[in-house]
């Protein structure tokens, strides 16, 4: 089985802590190929893969950064990210407390805290040709030409697979791109409406238990 799997809301426990559920580690280790497809930055995806003990194939920054076969690539937006930050947050404050570790290693998009007004983030983003995705964890301000689906295509190609060989599992509107490109798609039960509508299947269980349910169901389907 080849998996294109989201992190937040999909591999986490759903107890409000944001913590990974260690019971996903064995299922991740047991499948043939895993591509972690996340809105988080590459160092997050890389750390997850390293500590789970799987090869670090990743689509990070909602598709802006991909990593496969020891090779990092950037899908750099033509749009004006710097212009967005200059206008929206001239002091660089994107709503994160303390040192902004959310954006520190982010190279192709900007993540704004959910504490901020979504309408205002959208208004300013649109003026710079950018779009906003709400993952339930952050507002991702990004190029409309970049998404996790195009990232999965890029990684699959480098690994020598077709994207349709992948089972995509996710929880939010930033997973619709992978759902569209993968052969089969699952939204976990806690997923937002956009993801639930886009997915072929919705699991009965939520969060990490939904992920495990999807993997078991795919294994049963052979
Ligand atoms: O951090 C986020 O905003 C979302 O991350 P995810 O794509 O892994 O769910
Ligand atoms: Mg998610």
- Is residue 7 within 6 Å of ligand 1 at its C-beta? yes
91 has catalytic annotation: no
Calculate the alpha carbon distances from 83 to 79, 80, 147 in Å. 9, 5, 21
- Check if the interface score ipTM surpasses 0.85: yes
Q: How far is CA 45 from the centre of its chain?
A: 9
Q: Supply the residue whose CA is at minimum distance from atom 5 of ligand 1.
A: 39
Q: Is 134 in the pocket of ligand 1 (CB under 6 A)?
A: no
Q: How many residues does the chain have?
A: 222
pLDDT in tens, the chain (222 residues): 999 999 999 999 999 999 999 999 999 999 999 999 999 999 999 999 999 999 999 999 999 999 999 999 999 877 789 999 999 999 999 999 999 999 999 999 999 999 999 999 999 999 999 999 999 999 999 999 999 999 999 999 999 999 999 999 999 999 999 999 999 999 999 999 999 999 999 999 999 999 999 999 999 987
Nearest protein CA to atom 4 of ligand 1, as residue: 39
6 among the known binding-site residues?
Answer: yes
Torsion over CA of 57, 174, 187 and 207, rounded to 10 degrees? 80
Which mutation among 3, 4, 8, 42 tests ligand 1's pocket best, with the greatest number of atoms within 8 A of CB?
Answer: 8
Give the model confidence (pLDDT) of 65-112 as tens digits: 999 999 999 998 777 899 999 999 999 999 999 999 999 999 999 999
Indicate which atom in ligand 1 lies nearest the CA of residue 171: 9
């Amino acid at each position: 089985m080849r998996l294109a799997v989201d992190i937040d809301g999909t591999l986490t426990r759903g107890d409000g802590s944001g913590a990974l559920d260690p019971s996903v580690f064995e299922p991740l280790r047991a499948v043939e190929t895993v591509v972690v497809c996340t809105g988080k930055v590459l160092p997050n995806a890389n750390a997850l893969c390293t500590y789970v003990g799987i090869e670090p194939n990743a689509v990070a920054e909602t598709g802006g950064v991909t990593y496969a076969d020891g090779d990092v690539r950037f899908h750099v937006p033509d749009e004006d990210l710097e212009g967005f930050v200059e206008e929206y947050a001239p002091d660089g404050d994107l709503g994160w407390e303390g040192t902004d570790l959310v954006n520190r290693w982010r190279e192709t998009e900007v993540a704004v805290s959910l504490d901020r007004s979504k309408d205002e983030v959208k208004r300013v983003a649109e003026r710079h040709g950018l779009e906003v995705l709400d993952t339930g964890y952050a507002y991702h301000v990004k190029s409309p030409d970049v998404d996790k689906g195009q990232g999965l295509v890029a990684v699959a190609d480098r690994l020598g697979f077709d994207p349709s060989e992948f089972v995509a599992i996710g929880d939010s509107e930033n997973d619709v791109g992978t759902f569209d490109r993968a052969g089969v798609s699952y939204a976990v039960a806690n997923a937002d409406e956009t993801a639930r509508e886009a997915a072929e299947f919705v699991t009965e269980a939520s969060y990490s238990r939904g992920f495990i349910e999807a993997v078991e169901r795919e294994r049963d389907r052979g």
